[in-house]
Amino acid sequence: MKLFGKYDFVVLSVIIFLMFFLLIVRIPSRDSLKKIAVEINGKESYIFDKNGIYEIKNNGKKLMTIEILDHKVRVLRSTCPDKLCVKSGWLKNSNAAIVCVPNRIVIHYKKFPDFKRSGIDAYTW
């Protein structure tokens, strides 16, 4: 079998189109880069909007330390084995998130008004 076949360019162009589609679909919302939310196990546990160094705890167990400076956030220390959340550095983009899978923590910018309390079950993006 050869390196390139008949349908290879079709497949490649579909994948590259999907890639650019996913890149373009996100529209950053500048006005929401204020509050930082920390989710533990899918539940929003903390909301921060002031500079400082904070500790994230779950059921009394210390999980990580985060630093907030000028509406940016980074993880200083974490108890997870790979420390990928520390390596990912400052979070600046409102569509991105700092993820720590072993601790089940997601740190992101709080975006919209809370739909869950307004009676809407789910929303897509």
Which residue carries 């079998």 as its tokens?
1
Q: CB–CB of 74/91 below 8 Å?
A: yes
Residues making up the chain, counted from first to last: 125
Interface with other proteins: number of residues (CB under 8 A): 39
How far is Cα 123 from Cα 125, in angstroms, rounded to an integer? Answer: 7
CB of 114 to other proteins, least distance (A): 15
Q: Are 98 and 40 in contact (CB under 8 A)?
A: no
Q: How far is the CB of 48 from other proteins (least distance, A)?
A: 17
Binding residue for other proteins, selected from 27, 42, 118, 119, defined by CB under 8 A: 42
Q: CA-to-CA distance for 44 and 110, rounded, in angstroms?
A: 10
Alpha-carbon 36 to chain mean position? 11
**Could you say which residues in the range 48-107 bind other proteins, by CB under 8 A?**
81-82, 84-85, 87-88, 93, 95-99, 101-102, 104, 106
> Residue numbers of the site for other proteins (CB under 8 A)?
1-8, 11-12, 15-16, 18-20, 22-23, 26, 39, 41-42, 81-82, 84-85, 87-88, 93, 95-99, 101-102, 104, 106, 108, 125
